[in-house]
Amino acid sequence: MINVFRPLFTSQSETQAPVPIINETVYNQTTIHEENDYDGHFEFLGGRYCSKYLTSESLNRDVSVKPIHSHNDYWRYAPLTEALGAGAQSIEADIWYFPENYTLQATAVETAEETERRKEDPESNPLRLKSFNDSSIYVGHNQIFLEPENTLDKLYFDKLFEILSYSNPEMKYVDTTKEALPLLEETKSKFGVFYNSPETPLYLWLDFKTDANETYKVLQKSLQRFIENDYLAYYDTTTQTYHEGPIILTITGNIPWGLIEQETKRYVFVDVPLADFGKLDIDERVLQRYAQLGKVASGSMEEIIGTKEFIKNSRLDKFNEDASIMLEQVFDKVHAYGLKSRIWGDADFPSYIKEGHWKNLYELGSDFLNTDDVYDVAYL
């Protein structure tokens, strides 16, 4: 596969011809809107078509939606947009919230270049200080390697809101005396982030790495604009009805179970334990509770098939009969409760085993294929 980097545009006033597609995939760099937007930096989009705006068309026109889960999505060249460009329906990011401001000083030895820079500019940052505040949620895998600029709003929420806002415009005739309907048919549902399938929701996962309740309370503030515009799916406990939306938001990791269960309208869902659906002695009421609180059940491969079978199958490019039976039974039971399934922690080396397992899991009924490389799965 050839990776082609081309600037799409530099300002709203510029227009360019569509970027040619080479080997079916083009990666683009762009500056979004005005000079100060997104810090004026080039942004890797992973899209296929030229656009003045960040839209579903620029990201995934002519790309089919695929049952891919972009695990550790923030490791991509372009968090969110690369996965959407591949058609991944499920995306996960690890998030951190700190109730107290703090500064991190890296312990790396100062380089000769940094020493010279400090001589010329005493106010430079030779000690590699990083400052984090109590008003932001940060995205990253490890607290030591977090970057102050990598916030949840900047990497995910701002972009998602822009894509959805462009897909769901307000349309009015200039002549307000006209009584005719707008040019497009009115609908109560909102268009989503997939150009070819706007009715298909995006499953967005947030893995809480810090205190569940504190992180959730701050997250709710960031979600308000999505709620006000009907961009989030939700469950109404009063009527016991599920309401569709362009984004299905799921919390995993440190889950604030108590806070979520108290809500009348649940705009977030919880990651329910997939392994419980394989237990013979599980209380039926527990599974019914999961069905009301979640939309997807996930778990590690070792949890589902056991350590012995996990070791055996980690060297096979297709699951043996015992493992296949266990996996299929769990998937079937999850589906019986109206939930989808995802397995993580499967063998990822060598590539022929990893790819063989993905194909086998799909055949057995898994709803999302977990990956750290969305294009590996996209071209199976």
Cα(55)–Cα(59) distance, integer angstroms: 6
Reported as a pLDDT band with limits 50, 70 and 90, residue 53 is: confident
Which CA distances in Å does 335 have to 173, 202, 331, 332? 46, 19, 6, 5
- Yes or no: say if 293 and 316 are a contact pair by the CB < 8 Å rule: no
What is the structure's pLDDT at 43? 41
Q: Is the pLDDT of residue 41 over 60?
A: no
Q: Is the pLDDT of residue 340 over 50?
A: yes
**Which tops the pLDDT comparison, 5 or 290?**
290
Mean model confidence pLDDT for the chain: 85
Nearest to 345 by CA among 314, 313, 304, 301: 301
Average pLDDT over residues 176-204: 81
**Which tops the pLDDT comparison, 213 or 179?**
213
Q: Is the pLDDT of residue 339 over 60?
A: yes
Q: Is the pLDDT of residue 24 over 50?
A: no
Reported as a pLDDT band with limits 50, 70 and 90, residue 38 is: very low
What is the structure's pLDDT at 1? 34
CB atoms within 10 A of CB 106: 13
What is the structure's pLDDT at 113? 79
Average pLDDT over residues 278-294: 97
CB atoms within 10 A of CB 301: 22
Q: Is the pLDDT of residue 8 over 90?
A: no
What is the structure's pLDDT at 317? 97
CB atoms within 10 A of CB 203: 24
The model's pTM: 0.84
Average pLDDT over residues 26-36: 34
Which pLDDT tens digit goes with each residue over 86-140? 999 999 999 999 999 998 877 666 678 777 777 777 666 555 788 999 999 999 9
